[in-house]
Structure 1
Amino acid sequence: MAEDFEYADQVPPSFDGKAADAGGFNPGLIVLMLVVGLLLIFLVGNYVLYVYAQKTLPPKKKKPVSKKKMKREKLKQGVSAPGE
């Protein structure tokens, strides 16, 4: 009966510790590399768009200052407002 089992003293490859290491990349490592890669592409893309916008868009127009505010500022500085 012992002669029937040819491979009785050998461990199957699925249970061998060496076979697990030779399987390739760890799936968790692949997901981590994918997430980090996408995040890096997102950040670099935003920076490139920001630099492009700074070069091409015209500067923002300032809001006009009301006459009331101008009068108040001049009074704070000690200069009399015109027409007084």
Structure 2
Amino acid sequence: MDGEDFAGKAAAEAKGLNPGLIVLLVVGGPLLVFLIANYVLYVYAQKNLPPRKKKPVSKKKLKREKLKQGVPVPGE
């Protein structure tokens, strides 16, 4: 085995990019950016947006819940 021959092959292989690496970069790069951006927006929203208002519970639902618990509903 000649040392120069081995060095020549290594240099030739280093010139071309591995197709698997290209696919990984093309798919993984935007995916990573997307996930990081989502996390940043989530943290920003948690700090700056006001808490969500709870929906008002209807009287009908309140009555049903109290009946389930066995509490007598006033007015009946």
1:47 and 2:30 aligned: no
**CA-atom RMSD in angstroms:** 2.1
Count of equivalent residues: 68
Go from structure 1 to structure 2 and tell me whether the alpha carbon gap of 1:57 and 1:22 turns closer, same or farther (over 3 Å shift).
closer
TM-score by length of 1: 0.63
Instruction: Name structure 2 gaps, 5 residues minimum.
Output: 1-7
Identical pairs, percent = 78
Instruction: Name structure 1 gaps, 5 residues minimum.
Output: 1-16
Asked which structure has the greater RCO (Cα within 8 Å, sep 6+), the reply is: 2
Larger gyration radius, structure 1 or structure 2: 1
Q: Which structure 1 residue ranges, 4+ long, deviate > 3 Å from structure 2?
A: none
TM-score by length of 2: 0.69
> How much has 1:43 moved relative to structure 2?
0.7
